[in-house]
């Protein structure tokens, strides 16, 4: 009897609850206001939303966490409030997900686009925008909501393992290129995550290393690219960097993530951490600082958030603000909008975009006696080097892409109808280790071939920095032996030698570049690599790329060389698993002194007239260009309008990058001899054709950062505006007068 009554009572209670629930259903995201949804959330649900969901070894709220295998991260679903899982995929060179899945023979290959450095080398934001559109479309059609890109840390030192994922040594080129990429990706209705904010300029112990940087270098170099990108393109999210800046972890820095990023620059999305290991940072400090989401996320972190609120270490208002910022992005995602993704992006169209972008990112570094282009298809080519048959299409780590096929150089040349030496092809097939070519063998090939092509390749990536030793920054003995013997043999018979540099970063060139008649830099060009390179070698496309960083004579010429995780015995530290050698008090390991301050790249080499092998902004064409009729005038709203007429004075059509540098008047602050303030690219100019290129910049853009007064200062005085073909090739100059000085204070210091 008792049981019956209990059952009846239970049924009545349940009916009552259901009745109440039906009468007051939980507010649904997108129907109710975000504030109403937040007010209906439990503390546990709020905590769960802020902690990434992808490392958990269980189904998440009934949602199959592995809907997209190998995706970098997800956010938690809260179905009762209509909050879906959202998906975050790497990376800067394309969507990084597993190409196959259990239970289906359908594949999920992606397009490996040209690496970031190569995209920046186009100096063509319009083209970068197109690549962004394609990357964003691929992410959309594979069911992703945010692309964890672009990565825009400044090329402080060529040994940084991830420089291939980054754009340049100059913050204006970084910022403008990043803005184009962000706008391109986001034009699909998917988000981006501008990373790694900030000053993550080495891989060695990146999670613990303290970047010790002056305020001026921070503002003028390491923050400036992020500032331009945030102000101009409004990324949905930002990824805080692993490292510290001047003793404070980026993901815990209120000054960085709220005062600068939001209060000064107007960022209105949310910040996620990089893929931090548990227990390195304090979660309450992070959320208060303005780092909303913890990636990849661990279950313990949910408990940590709940405990922090209950113990009063984290204000519920801060928690609610973080949840609000996340929900404001989630409602914009395709997943929330119920977009029916196809899992079938147009990879063929994206391959074509890759080829077009790579064509404009390839840089012609040398072309003695018009060695190139090879216009005669009957030319017999002796193709040397492993990279000729096994191209590095991209770099290593989270920035990798699983592409179905990469077109190698030999294939690209054969596609054009060239005949390649068969014996060399058989020697190099499957060869992973470079081989030396003896003088005798080189002579054989020089007899039966018309031209030699030698590919030198390098790869690097996340977790480990490069090494300033033979075989990485420097050629190794085998490569030197190969190049020397091929050069001697072919030159002895009046035949030419072309070197191709398939690399994601700078290498030493001064000691051997005389051995080559032509040097072509295709970086890591993505899936269409071999076809792109052939396009340039045959002259189908006239190269128009220019360097986005300085190529020094020696590694030790670089101002940051002694303040980088590389000891003078020529060994760099292994990052990542080598945990026991971490020492917080060891230079370049526990902390890195950015002792060089603003003297990075051309700012240093041009100002102090230090010889370089190839300067910033340098790149040759198969034609020539003249610059004339330079004009600079102050237009409306303090906008300077600078124009110059560019004429194709050669015999083939081509595009020219125009770089605008400004020299400031004498000042009590030491300033670089000139700094890039704007750039542009002509369309394809036929021989004899001209185009007037108009560039703009503001008076504020001319400011330097005054540490003593913690403000940007534009001095009054006469500035020289230079129209240039490289940082050391000034073609036309025009003086302009800034009548009165101006000061813009900033809200904080990162000290
Ligand atoms: C890595 C990288 C970051 C990447 C993330 C997800 O640690 O630093 O660039 O987006 O984890 O893979």
The radius of gyration computed from the CA coordinates of the chain, to the nearest angstrom, equals 28
Would you call 110 helix, strand, or coil by DSSP? coil
Flag whether pLDDT at 20 surpasses 60.
no
- Whether 274 is catalytic is yes
Q: Please work out whether the CB of residue 588 comes within 6 Å of at least one atom of ligand 1.
A: no
Q: For residue 67, what pLDDT is reported?
A: 85
CA of 677 to the centre of ligand 1 (A): 31
Q: How far is residue 324 from each of residues 41, 73, 288, 292, measured CA to CA in Å?
A: 11, 20, 14, 9
Nearest CA to ligand 1 atom 7: 275
Nearest CA to ligand 1 atom 6: 72
Torsion angle (degrees, nearest 10) of CA 559, 563, 568, 574: -130
Q: For residue 97, what pLDDT is reported?
A: 96
Of the ranges 20-29, 31-40, 526-535, 735-744, which one carries the lowest mean pLDDT score?
Answer: 20-29
Best probe residue, ligand 1, of 147, 148, 185 (max atoms within 8 Å of C-beta): 148
Flag whether pLDDT at 505 surpasses 60.
yes
- Cα(25)–Cα(701) distance, integer angstroms: 54
The stretch 411-417 carries a mean pLDDT of 97
Q: Please work out whether the CB of residue 71 comes within 6 Å of at least one atom of ligand 1.
A: no
Highest mean pLDDT among 57-61, 68-72, 706-710: 706-710
Strands, E, within 488-622: which ranges?
Answer: 496-502, 518-521, 551-552, 591-593, 612-614
Q: How far is residue 394 from each of residues 114, 338, 461, measured CA to CA in Å?
A: 7, 33, 9
What is the band of 146 on the pLDDT scale with cuts at 50, 70, 90? very high
Best probe residue, ligand 1, of 94, 162, 185, 462 (max atoms within 8 Å of C-beta): 462
- Cα(576)–Cα(561) distance, integer angstroms: 21
Nearest atom of ligand 1 to the alpha carbon of 296 = 6
The stretch 475-497 carries a mean pLDDT of 98
Q: For residue 12, what pLDDT is reported?
A: 55
Is residue 176 within 8 Å of residue 228, measured between CB atoms?
Answer: yes
Q: Please work out whether the CB of residue 88 comes within 6 Å of at least one atom of ligand 1.
A: no
Nearest-CA neighbor of 555 among 468, 492, 478, 476?
Answer: 468
DSSP codes, 300-322: HHHHHHHHHHHTTSS-HHHHHHH
The stretch 163-174 carries a mean pLDDT of 99
Flag whether pLDDT at 576 surpasses 50.
no
- Cα(437)–Cα(383) distance, integer angstroms: 12
Q: For residue 472, what pLDDT is reported?
A: 93
Q: Please work out whether the CB of residue 72 comes within 6 Å of at least one atom of ligand 1.
A: yes
DSSP codes, 462-485: TTB---SSBTTTB--HHHHHHHHH
Flag whether pLDDT at 74 surpasses 90.
yes
Q: Encoding tokens for residue 585?
A: 């008090």
Give the list of residues 6+ apart from residue 259 with CB closer than 8 angstroms, or none: 747, 748
> Mind listing the domains of the chain with CATH numbers?
360-552 (3.40.50.1700), 625-745 (2.60.40.10)
Given 170, 210, 274, 472, the catalytic residue = 274
In the chain, the percentage of residues whose pLDDT exceeds 70 is 93
Is residue 606 within 8 Å of residue 673, measured between CB atoms?
Answer: yes
In the chain, the percentage of residues whose pLDDT exceeds 90 is 88
Q: Please work out whether the CB of residue 148 comes within 6 Å of at least one atom of ligand 1.
A: yes
Q: Residues 385-407: pLDDT tens digits?
A: 999 999 999 999 999 999 999 99
What is the band of 705 on the pLDDT scale with cuts at 50, 70, 90? very high
Q: Residues 418-460: pLDDT tens digits?
A: 999 999 999 999 999 999 999 999 999 999 999 999 999 999 9
Task: Please state, as a whole number, how many other Cβ atoms lie within 10 Å of the Cβ of residue 670.
Answer: 10
The stretch 63-86 carries a mean pLDDT of 86
Q: Beta 675-681 vs 625-634: how paired, if at all?
A: unpaired
Q: Please work out whether the CB of residue 90 comes within 6 Å of at least one atom of ligand 1.
A: yes
DSSP codes, 568-585: TTS-BPP-TT--TT--TT
Q: How far is residue 81 from each of residues 61, 323, 577, measured CA to CA in Å?
A: 12, 13, 41
Q: Residues 670-684: pLDDT tens digits?
A: 999 999 999 999 999
Q: For residue 55, what pLDDT is reported?
A: 57
Q: Residues 3-18: pLDDT tens digits?
A: 444 455 555 555 555 5
Side-by-side strand order, sheet with 639-648 = 625-634, 639-648, 690-698
Nearest atom of ligand 1 to the alpha carbon of 73 = 6
Q: Between 477-492 and 439-448, two packed helices, what is the crossing angle to 10 degrees? A: 40
Q: Residues 312-360: pLDDT tens digits?
A: 999 999 999 999 999 999 999 999 999 999 999 999 999 999 999 999 9
Q: For residue 277, what pLDDT is reported?
A: 78
């Amino acid at each position: 009897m008792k049981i019956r009554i209990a059952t009846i009572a239970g049924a009545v209670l349940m009916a009552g609850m259901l009745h109440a629930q039906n009468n007051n259903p939980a507010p649904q995201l997108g129907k109710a206001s975000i504030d109403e949804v937040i007010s209906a959330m439990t503390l546990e649900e709020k905590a769960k939303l802020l902690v990434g969901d992808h490392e958990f070894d269980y189904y998440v709220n009934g949602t199959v966490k592995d809907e997209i295998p190998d995706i970098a991260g997800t956010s938690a679903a809260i179905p009762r409030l209509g909050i879906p899982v959202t998906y975050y995929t790497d990376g800067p060179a394309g969507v990084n997900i597993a190409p196959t899945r259990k239970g289906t023979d359908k594949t999920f290959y992606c397009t490996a686009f040209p690496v970031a450095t190569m995209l920046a080398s186009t100096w063509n934001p319009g083209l970068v925008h197109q690549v962004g559109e394609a990357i964003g479309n691929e992410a959309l059609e594979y069911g992703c909501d945010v692309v964890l890109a672009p990565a825009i840390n400044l090329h402080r030192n060529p040994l940084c393992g991830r420089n291939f994922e980054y754009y340049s040594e100059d913050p204006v080129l970084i910022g403008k290129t990043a803005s184009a990429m962000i706008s391109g990706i986001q034009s699909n209705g998917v988000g981006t995550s501008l990373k790694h904010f900030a000053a993550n300029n080495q891989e060695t112990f990146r999670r613990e290393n303290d970047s010790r940087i002056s305020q001026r270098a921070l503002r003028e170099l390491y923050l400036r690219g992020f500032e331009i990108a945030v102000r101009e393109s409004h990324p949905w999210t930002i990824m805080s960097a692993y490292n510290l800046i001047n003793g404070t972890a980026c993901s815990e820095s209120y000054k960085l993530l709220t005062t600068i990023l939001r209060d000064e620059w107007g960022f209105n999305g949310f910040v996620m951490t990089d893929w931090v290991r548990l227990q390195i940072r304090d979660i309450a400090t992070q959320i208060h600082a303005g780092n909303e989401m913890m990636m990849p996320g661990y279950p313990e972190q949910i408990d940590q958030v709940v405990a922090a609120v209950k113990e009063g270490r984290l204000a519920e208002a801060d928690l609610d603000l973080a949840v609000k910022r996340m929900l404001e992005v989630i409602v914009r995602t395709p997943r929330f909008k119920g977009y029916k993704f196809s899992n079938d992006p147009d990879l063929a169209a994206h391959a074509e975009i890759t080829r077009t972008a790579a064509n404009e990112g390839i840089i012609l570094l040398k072309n003695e006696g018009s060695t190139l282009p090879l216009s005669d298809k009957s030319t017999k080519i002796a193709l040397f080097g492993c990279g000729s048959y096994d191209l590095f299409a991209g770099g290593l780590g989270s920035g990798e892409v699983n592409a179905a096929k990469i077109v190698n150089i030999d294939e690209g040349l054969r596609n054009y109808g060239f005949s390649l030496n068969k014996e060399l092809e058989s020697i190099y097939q499957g060869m992973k280790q470079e081989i030396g070519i003896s003088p005798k063998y080189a002579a054989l090939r020089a007899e039966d071939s018309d031209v030699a092509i030698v590919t030198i390749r390098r790869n690097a990536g996340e977790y480990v920095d490069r090494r300033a030793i033979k075989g990485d920054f420097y050629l190794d003995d085998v490569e030197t032996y190969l190049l020397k013997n091929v050069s001697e043999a072919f030159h002895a018979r009046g035949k030419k030698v072309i070197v191709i540099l398939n690399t994601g970063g700078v290498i030493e060139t001064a000691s051997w570049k005389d051995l080559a008649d032509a040097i072509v830099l295709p970086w890591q060009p993505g899936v269409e690599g071999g076809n792109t390179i052939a396009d340039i070698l045959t002259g189908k496309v006239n190269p128009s790329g220019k360097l986005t960083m300085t190529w020094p004579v020696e590694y030790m010429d670089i101002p940051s060389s002694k303040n980088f995780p590389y000891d003078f015995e020529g060994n760099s530290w292994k990052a990542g698993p080598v945990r026991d050698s971490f020492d917080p008090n060891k230079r370049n390991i526990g902390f890195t002194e950015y002792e060089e301050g603003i003297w990075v790249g051309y700012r240093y080499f041009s100002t102090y007239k230090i010889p370089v092998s190839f300067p910033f902004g340098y790149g040759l064409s198969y034609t020539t260009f003249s610059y004339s009729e330079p004009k600079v005038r102050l237009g409306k709203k303090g906008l300077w309008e600078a124009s110059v007429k560019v004429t194709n004075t050669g015999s083939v059509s081509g595009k020219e990058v125009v770089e605008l540098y400004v020299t400031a008047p004498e000042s009590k602050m030491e300033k670089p001899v000139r700094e890039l303030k704007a750039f542009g690219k002509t369309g394809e100019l036929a021989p004899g054709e001209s185009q007037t290129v108009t560039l703009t910049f503001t008076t504020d853009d001319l400011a330097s950062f005054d540490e003593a007064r913690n403000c940007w200062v534009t001095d009054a005085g006469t500035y020289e505006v230079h129209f240039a073909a490289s940082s050391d090739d000034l073609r036309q100059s025009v003086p302009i007068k800034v009548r009165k000085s101006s000061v813009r204070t900033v809200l904080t210091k990162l000290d």
